[in-house]
Amino acid sequence: MRFTSQTSSDGVSEQLFTLGEIPGVLWTPDGATGTRPLILMGHGGGQHKKAPGILARARRFVADGGFAVVAVDVPAHGDRPKVEEYDRIATANQARVEAGADLAPLIAGFQALVARRTVPEWRAVLDAVQALDHVGAGPVGYWGVSLGCGLGVPFVAAEPRVRAAVLGLGGASASAEAAARITVPVEFLLQWDDERVPRAQGLALFDAFASTEKTLHANPGGHGEIPAFELDSTLRFFARHLG
């Protein structure tokens, strides 16, 4: 793990790093020492580790929750090179959809392919970040919606360090199988008028989690329109389960 920059603002320290070929960013409270809960955040499709929706939430988790937060670029996103295999598949899927194919199973197949890389990458990121003195081996949470849900569900299912997860904007056809292996508390965000994920798909994914504590928060609006007050709820959810 190699740190390449460190900046600070409003009490939140931001450290850019690379772990092998993975570019990442770690946010912690200024002057933090000792073990604290860690939240891994997975960004959306076409976004990156410092996309506005990630950055705003990460800073809030650190400033108001005292958590450490880490995010990395998914392969072929942010500062990472294109992946020719992904481009080939995306082009082929586009052609299939134009020929009338159903989009959902194509997305599911693609996310499963990417998850085969991100699950081990994210586990390695946890190993490295939890070895730092100002993070340590405390409880871990996961936050991710949309692609961050599609990649997050298999990650949370595979990684026993994760004790609580906020997921959402994903559907059962992509994620139900892995969701049925998740038993930690889940807060699931569903947009009632999601133009990308059919409502029944989102409800079926919520239904699939094996967790005895799971809570569905559904709000009107499209895929990108999660209301601001859900961030307050997310912070309290993590505080309750990781604090």
- In the bound state with a second copy, the residue whose beta carbon lies nearer, of 52 and 220, is 220
| DSSP-derived secondary structure for 60-72 | HHHHHH--EEEEE
**How far is residue 182's CA from residue 101's CA, in Å, rounded to a whole number?**
30
- In the bound state with a second copy, the residue whose beta carbon lies nearer, of 17 and 206, is 206
**How far is residue 33's CA from residue 54's CA, in Å, rounded to a whole number?**
24
Q: How many CB atoms lie within 10 A of CB 146?
A: 26
Q: Nearest distance from residue 186's CB to a second copy, in Å?
A: 10
Q: Nearest distance from residue 118's CB to a second copy, in Å?
A: 28
Measured at the alpha carbon of residue 167, what is the angle toward residues 163 and 173, in degrees to the nearest 5?
Answer: 120
Q: Nearest distance from residue 233's CB to a second copy, in Å?
A: 7
Sequence letter at residue 217: H
**How far is residue 167's CA from residue 157's CA, in Å, rounded to a whole number?**
12
- In the bound state with a second copy, the residue whose beta carbon lies nearer, of 3 and 192, is 192
- In the bound state with a second copy, the residue whose beta carbon lies nearer, of 3 and 229, is 229
Closest CA to 90 of 113, 67, 73: 113
- In the bound state with a second copy, the residue whose beta carbon lies nearer, of 118 and 191, is 191
Q: Nearest distance from residue 221's CB to a second copy, in Å?
A: 9
Q: Footprint of a second copy on this chain (CB under 8 A)?
A: 190, 192, 203, 206-207, 212-220, 227, 229, 232-233, 236, 240
Tokens of 125: 């990121």
Q: Nearest distance from residue 73's CB to a second copy, in Å?
A: 32
Question: 27 CB contacts (<8 Å, ≥6 apart)?
Answer: 12, 13, 14, 15, 58, 59, 61, 62, 68, 69, 70
